[in-house]
Amino acid sequence: MTETLQIIEGLMALMWTLLRVGAVIMIVPVFGAMYVPARIRIGIAVVIAFALVQAGHQSPMPEPLSPAGLLAIARELLIGFSIGFVLKLAIDSALLAGQLVSTGMGLSFATVVDPGQGGVPLLGRLYLIVATLLLLATNAHLTLIALVAQSFELMPIGSGGLGAAEARLVVEFVSLMFAGALHLALPAIISILMVNVAFGVVSRAAPTLNLFAVGFPVTLMMGFVIMALSFRSQGAVWSGQLEAAFGTIGRLVGGP
């Protein structure tokens, strides 16, 4: 009888830990992508929750189907979704940067169908791939798991959910996403703007010149050249985005 109770308590502790961890995995980049099978995502969430179960089960919890238990479940899911959403915003700035560059280059009509994002600009998909590779290369996914483990210490299960101050942190981080996207796209935007100004002067000097036939290939080529050159200097921007995201997540769960 004692062993059965211990097994039940262990399963309940795993369930409560899995709520927060599963919410993070379902929305965070890479792991939460739609092209990742649901079984893989569930398996990753269970493995991480099993590793963190001792940190997550801090105090006796109410019955899951009771009003207090349903409220606790909602709190854990909200905490997990908020953690994953902040990191998702940091990576999704690549899509916005690609949209800005695509509009300037005349490639805004070139989109690809992404099951998780819908119609995505072609260059936005390129920026997103680069951002994802940098996220994995810098072990940001391990840092995320460490922050999730820290969240159980700073914000134990059943201790309360996110308040207005934490919600404000998430809203404020949206501005950092737009700033990061602008930093990524600014070199290409300025270069394309200079090309357009130059063609404006040419059109005044030679009104009969077919600018669409001449300007579009030149603008396209200039955009790709500037993109190839600017990729080398974008590491600092991505590092700043990830550091800001992890800093926001740390403050979100009650860290300094």
Q: Over the chain, what is the mean pLDDT?
A: 76
* Percentages (nearest 5) of helix, strand, coil residues in the chain: 75, 5, 20
Q: Domain limits of the chain?
A: 2-107+120-252
Please give the average per-residue pLDDT across 235-249, as a whole number. Answer: 80
Least confident of 5-14, 115-124, 139-148: 115-124
Name every residue whose Cβ is closer than 8 Å to that of residue 196 and which is 6 or more positions away in sequence. 215, 219
Distance CA 63, CA 7 (A): 16
Least confident of 71-75, 119-123, 132-136: 119-123
pLDDT at position 62: 66
> What ranges make up the beta strands (E) of the chain?
111-114, 118-121
Tokens of 112: 């690809």
User: Does 232 have pLDDT greater than 80?
Assistant: no
pLDDT at position 134: 81
Residue 72, CA distances (Å) to 113, 199, 256 in order: 37, 62, 24
User: Does 119 have pLDDT greater than 60?
Assistant: no
Distance CA 31, CA 243 (A): 19
On whether the CB atoms of residues 161 and 60 are closer than 8 A, the answer is: no
pLDDT at position 111: 58
Specify which of 69-83, 210-224, 226-240 reaches the highest per-range mean pLDDT.
69-83
CA nearest 99: which of 127, 68, 71?
127
pLDDT digit string (tens) for 85-106? 888 888 888 778 877 777 777 6
For the entire predicted model, the pTM comes to 0.77
End-to-end CA distance of the chain: 44
Question: In percent, how much of the chain has pLDDT > 70?
Answer: 80
pLDDT digit string (tens) for 16-63? 888 888 888 888 887 777 777 888 888 888 888 888 877 655 556 667
- Residue 209: phi, psi to the nearest 5? -70, 135
pLDDT digit string (tens) for 177-188? 888 888 888 878
